Amino acid sequence: MASAEKVDTHAFITALKKIVSSAYFFWAVLALPSVPLFLTLAEESQRHRGAAAAHEIVEGSGVLATFLLLIALSLSPLETIFPKSRVVGWLLQRRRYIGIAAFSYSIVHLVFYFVDLGSLRDVLAEFATPGILTGWVALFIFVPMAITSNTVMTRVMGWRRWKMLQRGVYVAAVLVLAHWLIVDTEPAPLIFFGALALLECYRLWKNLTKRKPRETLANPVSA
Ligand code: HEM
């Protein structure tokens, strides 16, 4: 009886592990924050306040896209600090999905921005203003990154070229910071991006001070 229970528990844990490690589960987790956004849309539309809802979705999706971007960027420095962390390792294996989710929320952001403004003339009128232009340029940088974010494209482009393209994410991150600071005029983004900058500085310092094996062999006394 006890051994049957043990087998059941084992089978349950194995099934649970399989679900949690599946890509579908991770996509569901990434899609979850969109639920309150669309509930707001449904609620406000019923009250004939569609424009207010569109504006709320612009804000919510912008913040979500930015947080996912920050999470994706912080994983490599976090790996340097916690090389044995299973959570960081698990997330690193799924970083591509986090990046695509950030891009998808940026598209939602853009779509509801159009809905909010209501006319192409208004969109074009503010296109060149610093707060909006920074958003557009960041999004244009994300497009080729999102398109090439799969194994086939990594092979087609070659790892070096693919990696160089992906490094554009740092330029995009600076633009997103500028975009958020200009359109919202709140200091909060400085805290989030500041934390990422600190993590990146630590990673850089760690990489620079890492002794190369060849140097260590050449000068065993200093090892
Ligand atoms: C296509 C280009 C983009 C346009 C036209 C655009 C437009 C806007 C506008 C009009 C707002 C102000 C909303 C308000 O009045 O509060 C805003 C806010 C914001 N956007 Fe964008 N955006 C773009 C791209 C992006 C991208 C790529 C990201 C991040 C990945 C982003 C992140 C944010 C954030 C974090 C906010 C602040 C939300 C808040 O007020 O709390 N935007 N954007």
Q: Look at the chain and report how many structural domains it folds into.
A: 1
Asked, for residue 203, whether it belongs to a domain, the answer is no
With respect to residue 3, please indicate whether it lies within any of the assigned structural domains: no
Q: Does the beta carbon of 112 lie inside 6 Å of ligand 1? A: no
110 Cβ inside 6 Å of ligand 1: yes
Would you state the pLDDT for residue 2?
65
Judge if the beta carbon of residue 94 lies within 6 A of ligand 1.
no
Residue 220 inside a domain? The answer is: no
34 contact partners, CB below 8 Å, separation of at least 6 = 61, 64, 105, 108
The response to whether residue 183 sits with its C-beta less than 6 Å from ligand 1 reads yes
The 3 state secondary structure assigned to 191-222 is HHHHHHHHHHHHHHHHHHHCCCHHHHHHCHHH
As a whole number of angstroms, the distance between CA 58 and CA 47 comes to: 19
At which residue do the structure tokens 């997103």 appear? Answer: 176
**Residue 109 alpha carbon to ligand 1 centre in Å:** 7
pLDDT at residue 223, as a whole number: 35
pLDDT of residue 134: 98
The residue segments making up the domain with residue 34 are: 10-197
62, two tokens? 């912008």
Q: Are 139 and 108 in contact (CB under 8 A)?
A: no
Q: Is residue 188 in some structural domain?
A: yes
In a domain, 159, yes or no: yes
Q: Report if residue 5 sits inside a domain.
A: no
State the pLDDT at residue 202: 96
Question: What pLDDT was estimated at residue 221?
Answer: 45
pLDDT digits (tens, 9 = 90+) for 163-193: 999 999 999 999 999 999 999 988 999 999 9
What pLDDT, on a 0 to 100 scale, did the predictor assign at position 213?
Answer: 61
- Residue ranges of the chain whose pLDDT lies below 50: 220-223
pLDDT of res. 176: 98
Residue nearest to atom 32 of ligand 1 (CA): 62
